[in-house]
Chain A
Amino acid sequence: MADAPQGDFLVLSQISKRYGGVRALENVDFRCRRGKIHAVLGENGAGKSTLIKIVAGAVQPDAGSITLDGRLRQFGAPAAATAAGVVCIFQELSLMPDLSAADNISIAAPPRRFGLIDARAQRRRAEALLAEVGCEDVNPLLRVRELPLSRRQMVEIAKALGQKPQLLILDEATSALTSADVERVYSLLARLKTENVAILYITHRMHEVEALADRASVFRNGRHIETFDKGARSTAEIVQLMIGRDIATQYPPKPKRARPAAALKVDRLGWENSLESISLEVGAGEIVGLGGLDGQGQKTLLLALFGVLRGVTGLITVNGRAVRPGSPAQAKAGEIRIALVPEDRKTEGLMLPMSVSDNLTIASLGALSFGPFVDFSKEAGAVEAGVKRLRIKIAAKTDAVSTLSGGNQQKVVIAKWLMTEPRIILLNDPTRGIDVGTKQELYRLMRELADQGAAILFYSTDYDELIGCCDRVAIMYDGRIVRELSGDELNETNIVASSLNIEGAAAASVGRESAHV
């Protein structure tokens, strides 16, 4: 019972999935068609990733059915899904860094001769596929580890093409790409449409939806909210569906006051090829944002300030004193008191198997001890205070932090640093992958901390956040600060223009057409 070529290719019916106490997906019904690009929208935690993993065979649903091309399917492993024509492109999740691009592209079913892998045929295949995605310059012999991030993603896309997809799923696949590569991907998708491939496109970037999607579905809190055709809903309506409430009330009000003296002053800071002559000031009580396209040095700057990088040049001054933190231990120490909420909470911010209590106190053990011994009662008091202050939802403080939701995990990371009573707080994209409710709490908390005298440097990939939270925003491009925006100048047009390193009004029209973060 095959569907007509233009009919529904993928049908999900009442799909549900739970992880412990967390409901990732609940009774989801979903359909998508061949020859169309179907965008899947939603905040992180909305269930998009889980949905994709189920369709790709990496995860089994607790309930519900998957119908592909009219036939009921059960994918026990990714190999089964791939055999059925479902191909996924994640962000770098399926490449082996120590193997060559050619090996990676043909990893599961390489061309063979006498039972052995035919290296020459494999290389030709890789060259052909790389050419299809416009990357002829990538030498297939190179190990994936040796390629820059954008090229790795293109190799991943070439690999997906090679698996002859009937349903192609892209999960935030363009975030690591240069603008040129993004254009290549867009034209590739257009071509695949004409070849009747069904395409699912997961993104949280509205302009991509406007540019590409024929249909779009919004998910929120594990449920499918609505599916609509291109143009049927305005951006504001879509965002409303995604977050469930009005934008305007999201951000706490910004106090209008004179610019305070600098608590943190950076003077002509440089590092390797990534940072060049960065000069910046953050005053006590200010929230300064770092903006710009991905990978322009924002995260590197935060690491440099925190003492993680060696060979940093330039001057860093804290409250008038020149400092050069050589390690995070030195950065957090009493004289300087810098805190960094890192990029990846699962591998850099938390020890997942350890308890909430242990994670909360790991950065302030010095203050919670007498001599070499941990003061258990002081520790318990501090843990309770931290949990209360950030309203962390836990069952017991001895629970492993891995059982918490993403938002609560991030709260643990932040609470851990607040216990050190930092003077300067660096935040590396703290709201990535957090549910909307927690985000709001974090915005309020940031303003509260600033009002209490902390100097906050805040990197975010979300323009709205930067505009809503920050007193000033420094836009970075290619390792330098190209512009600082504040007051009325702090709007999306200017941010976009500066991110692309374009000046003036011309930016406004360019921004609308090709803006992509």
Chain B
Amino acid sequence: MSSDLAIRMRQNFAFLTAVSLFCVVYLLYHVAHPKGFSSAVLVQNGDEVFTLALVAMAQTVPVLAAGLDLSVGALMTMVGCFASYLLSGAPDGTALSLDLAGWRLGLGTLPGGVPGILIGILVCLAIGAFAGLINGVVVVYGRIQPIIATLATGAIFIGVALFLRPQPGGKIDEDLNWALTNSLGDFASTVHIFNDGAAPWFAPFAGVPTPFVLLALIVLLVWVPFSRTVTGRAIYAIGSAEGAAYMSGLDINRARIAAFTLGGFFAGCGGLFLAIQTSSGNADIPQAGAYTLNSIASVVIGGTSLLGGSGGAIGSVFGAMILRVISFFFRIFDIAPLLQPLFEGIILLAAVSIGALRVLRVKNTLELFR
């Protein structure tokens, strides 16, 4: 029914705007780039976008429930530091131990080779989800406002990260690095599938950057199904009208904890990728802060309301991509590096102020206070 389509488009207006904006901006980028539309450039873009996109997704889920997560950057960093130990892929395995002020606690040995890597990845993701769970528990059962609770847990996460990696270091298996940060063809050849990537039917896909594929997979296999569960919808309900959600019989506590846990999982994915990409674990506090703040900007640009109840993680992915592509522009237009932060700042400010135009049309001033 055409009226259905019209309704859906109107309801998702902010999201569609973000997507269109991204397409325009990204297209311009490739047009202007001397090596635009090439696989190499796409791969580089993918690598640079992935982590922020995932941290933005992580921020979106608590925001939908009318909360906020100021620990996403720290959580991401912490998981990255764990990854720098667990994904070294040494053939004989990695001995794990805990060193606490002179005490040594052996934690067993991580198997070597590919099984070890797979286990390492799973453990990292579990750590991310667990950290998110901690956030949720502190907010729900501690009954502390999310902004200040996650401020505190963020400090704890970065502390753990610093404990793991007081100096940047660690090692990531080179094959893992190569496979995930390049194109599908490279992935196939590293993992020895599809005739090492040479299979003829595979040829058109060989140039697709793996990070984009990973991003799409996480969105399609995790976010989309989750948003269609009762708990996923309950998150929206809480953000829209918590009292009404309670009266409707929804389990508010469980939904809120789920929101933070899923956020932790996504942030963990981002940290995992960053560690793999940089082949090291780096407990960089300013970088963690920058990711957190950029994630909030991505969420807003992507069309999710900071008041909760409307929007989605896919919009935030586009918001993150818009932010990144803008910084790519500076490279190709050779804008003085000194002016780049200024332009980024102005664009960010303009982007978030656009929503203000709606305010100027409001006729009943009481509506401004809702």
Type the 1/0 row for B225-266, where 1 means its CB is closer than 8 Å to any CB of A.
100111001001101110111111111000000000000000
Residues of A within 8 A of B334 (CB): none
The smallest beta-carbon distance between B91 and chain A, in angstroms, is 40
Residues of A within 8 A of B237 (CB): 96, 99, 107
Residue of A whose beta carbon sits closest to that of B3: A139
The answer to whether the Cβ of A253 comes within 8 Å of any Cβ in the partner chain is no
Tell me the complex Cα distance, A396–B237, Å.
40
Tell me the complex Cα distance, A157–B206, Å.
55
Partner of B233, one of A77, A97, A117: A117
Contact (Cβ within 8 A) A116 B225: yes
Residue of A whose beta carbon sits closest to that of B244: A94
Contact (Cβ within 8 A) B228 A117: yes
Interface SS majority for chain B: helix
The answer to whether the Cβ of B7 comes within 8 Å of any Cβ in the partner chain is yes
Contact (Cβ within 8 A) A308 B244: no
Residues of A within 8 A of B150 (CB): none
Chain A interface extent, by class: 35 or more
The answer to whether the Cβ of A78 comes within 8 Å of any Cβ in the partner chain is yes
The answer to whether the Cβ of B364 comes within 8 Å of any Cβ in the partner chain is yes
The answer to whether the Cβ of A82 comes within 8 Å of any Cβ in the partner chain is yes
Partner of B240, one of A88, A90, A97, A112: A97
Tell me the complex Cα distance, A472–B364, Å.
28
The answer to whether the Cβ of B310 comes within 8 Å of any Cβ in the partner chain is yes
Contact (Cβ within 8 A) B229 A115: yes
Tell me the complex Cα distance, A116–B364, Å.
40
Tell me the complex Cα distance, A167–B163, Å.
60
Q: A98-B309, A115-B229, A139-B4 are in contact. Are A107 and B250 (CB under 8 A)?
A: yes
The answer to whether the Cβ of B11 comes within 8 Å of any Cβ in the partner chain is yes
Contact (Cβ within 8 A) A117 B365: no
Contact (Cβ within 8 A) B240 A107: no
The answer to whether the Cβ of B366 comes within 8 Å of any Cβ in the partner chain is yes
Contact (Cβ within 8 A) B11 A78: no
Partner of B247, one of A58, A110, A139: A58
Q: A58-B247, A78-B247, A103-B233 are in contact. Are A97 and B366 (CB under 8 A)?
A: no
Tell me the complex Cα distance, A327–B369, Å.
14
Residues of A within 8 A of B230 (CB): 108-110, 112, 117
Q: A107-B237, A116-B228 are in contact. Are A310 and B363 (CB under 8 A)?
A: yes
The chain A residues found within 8 Å of chain B, CB to CB, are 56, 58, 77-79, 82, 88, 90, 93-99, 103-104, 107-110, 112, 115-117, 119, 139, 141-143, 271-272, 303, 308-311, 327, 348
Can you show 19 pairs from A to B with CB atoms below 8 A apart?
Answer: A56-B247, A58-B247, A77-B246, A78-B247, A79-B249, A94-B248, A95-B241, A96-B236, A96-B240, A98-B310, A103-B233, A104-B248, A107-B249, A112-B230, A141-B4, A142-B7, A303-B364, A309-B364, A311-B363
Would you list the 10 A-B pairs with minimal beta carbon distance, nearest first? A79-B249, A98-B309, A98-B240, A96-B240, A94-B247, A116-B228, A108-B249, A98-B310, A96-B237, A94-B244
